[in-house]
Homo-oligomer: A and B are copies of this chain.
Amino acid sequence: MTRLEINQDLNALNKQIAAENRNKFKSSGLYVINMMGSPGSGKTTLLENILPRLGAHLRTAVIEGDLATQNDALRIEKTGVTALQINTNGGCHLDAKMIENQLQKLELDSLDLLIIENVGNLICPATYDLGEDMRMVILSVTEGEDKPVKYPTAFLNAHTAVITKADLLPYVDVDVNVMKRYIAEINPKVVVFETALKNGLYEAEQLVEYILEQVREKQRK
């Protein structure tokens, strides 16, 4: 049995469980976002900012993935949103089975939106379907403008990308328009939002509106 075959088997199993998750989400009218990005790209900070805005319209829950600690779930719960913490104990990504195990703890029919914050890693999470509707990549300006071409996998499969920490642009050698052009080169369909949550928000409001539209569209179907 070769390594490739083993990976294919594991991937096929993950795809199967992801499809089961997707069916559960569909029958509950639940929209699901899978957030991916490097450690420190600003995923949790973005959630802290948009959850209160989304919460005015939607019943929302969050699943947090980290190697260790409950830090992020505790941060999310301060916004008043239910947060479940998965610790992967060194594992570099969430998989569909880990999500399935958490779903038993949530009343899916009483929710409109589930946001899964994946393990901080720009590479591995992109190849594991969790059953989500939207794959969102988070990239901070401090990571450098060439990251979309150097780490294309996450952007190839993304629906949305959120560029964070734009308030630091004056202090780093990064042209945000070059970063956006690189994202478009990898995947021209990605809808990009630029945020700076400590300094005027930029397009965080538009991101909230965009998510609301997507959730409503799924619920209409």
Contact = CB atoms under 8 A, between A and B. Distances in A.
Interface of A: 1, 3, 6, 10, 38-40, 66-69, 71-72, 90, 92, 119-124, 127, 140, 142-144, 146-147, 149-153, 165, 167-168, 171-173, 198
A91 to B, nearest CB: 8
A140 B172 CA distance: 13
Contacts of A151: 39, 67-68, 120
A68 B123 contact: no
A10 B67 CA distance: 22
Contacts of A121: 92, 121-124
Contacts of A172: 168
Nearest to A127: B90
B40 A142 contact: yes
A69 B142 contact: no
A40 B168 contact: no
30 contacts: A1-B1, A6-B6, A38-B38, A38-B40, A38-B120, A38-B122, A38-B143, A39-B122, A40-B142, A40-B144, A67-B123, A67-B150, A67-B152, A68-B151, A69-B149, A90-B123, A92-B92, A92-B123, A119-B123, A120-B147, A120-B150, A120-B151, A121-B122, A121-B123, A123-B124, A124-B124, A142-B142, A142-B165, A167-B171, A168-B171
Given A119-B123, A165-B142, A168-B142, A152 B68 contact: yes
